[in-house]
Amino acid sequence: MKRAIFPGSFDPITLGHYDIIHRGVTLFDELVIAIGVNSDKKYMFPLEKRKQFIEEAFKDEPKIKVVTYEGLTVNFCKEIDAQFILRGLRNPADFEFEKAIAHTNRKLSEIETVFLLTSSGKSYISSSIVRDVIRNNGDYTGLVPNSVRI
């Protein structure tokens, strides 16, 4: 079975994430959306709410599982027997950052990282932009899946 994880904080999930997940699920037998927990980070949405947003967005997709994890992503991959890490790339800066992480993960483990380019109409969307729009009472609904309603 080809199992991949799509790790992130998803604070909140955006249409960019949704795009990568929707396209990535076709490549694997199972795609585990893995919400990382970082106790040093301040989140806008609690962990359970972030998980609920994602579960609702993909409730009709049986190949998708949503879980939370702590620690190194490669260690979590070993725990659940995932052979791949799926990552989305929006721009060249994302590529440079993600490339370094992929090389490090490959050094620590035999895990392969698969990159997908975010669709052009969604490449400008980031969770930090969405949070800023929300904080300033802007219309964020065109940036997130329908499941993200606050």
147 in a domain, yes or no?
Answer: no
- Strand 84-89 vs strand 3-8: parallel, antiparallel, or unpaired? parallel
Position 71 scores a pLDDT of 94
Q: How many CB atoms lie within 10 A of CB 37?
A: 13
Alpha helix (H) residue ranges in the chain: 15-24, 47-57, 73-80, 92-108, 127-135
The span from the CA of 26 to the CA of 33, in Å, is: 14
Residue type, 110: E
User: How many CA atoms are closer than 13 Å to the CA of 19, on its beta-carbon side?
Assistant: 20
Position 38 scores a pLDDT of 84
* pLDDT tens readout for residues 33-76: 999 998 788 999 999 999 999 999 999 999 999 999 999 999 99
| Active-site annotation holds for 109 | no
Q: Helix 92-108 vs helix 73-80: angle between axes, to the nearest 10 degrees?
A: 60
113 in a domain, yes or no?
Answer: yes
The span from the CA of 101 to the CA of 107, in Å, is: 10
Q: Can you give the pLDDT of all 150 residues of the chain as single tens digits?
A: 999 999 999 999 999 999 999 999 999 999 999 999 987 889 999 999 999 999 999 999 999 999 999 999 999 999 999 999 999 999 888 899 999 999 999 999 989 999 999 998 999 999 999 999 999 999 999 999 999 987
The span from the CA of 37 to the CA of 25, in Å, is: 23
Position 41 scores a pLDDT of 85
130 in a domain, yes or no?
Answer: yes
3-state secondary structure of 91: coil
Position 125 scores a pLDDT of 95
Residues in a beta bridge with 85? 5, 113
Q: Which of 2, 9, 90, 147 is catalytic?
A: 90
141 in a domain, yes or no?
Answer: no
The span from the CA of 108 to the CA of 127, in Å, is: 28
Note down the domain range covering 99.
3-135
| Active-site annotation holds for 41 | yes
Q: Which of 17, 50, 51, 87 is catalytic?
A: 17
149 in a domain, yes or no?
Answer: no
CATH number for the domain spanning 27: value is 3.40.50.620
**Is the overall model pTM greater than 0.85, yes or no?**
yes
Position 19 scores a pLDDT of 96
Q: Which of 39, 41, 107, 120 is catalytic?
A: 41
Position 145 scores a pLDDT of 96
| Active-site annotation holds for 39 | no
Q: How many distinct structural domains can be found in the chain?
A: 1
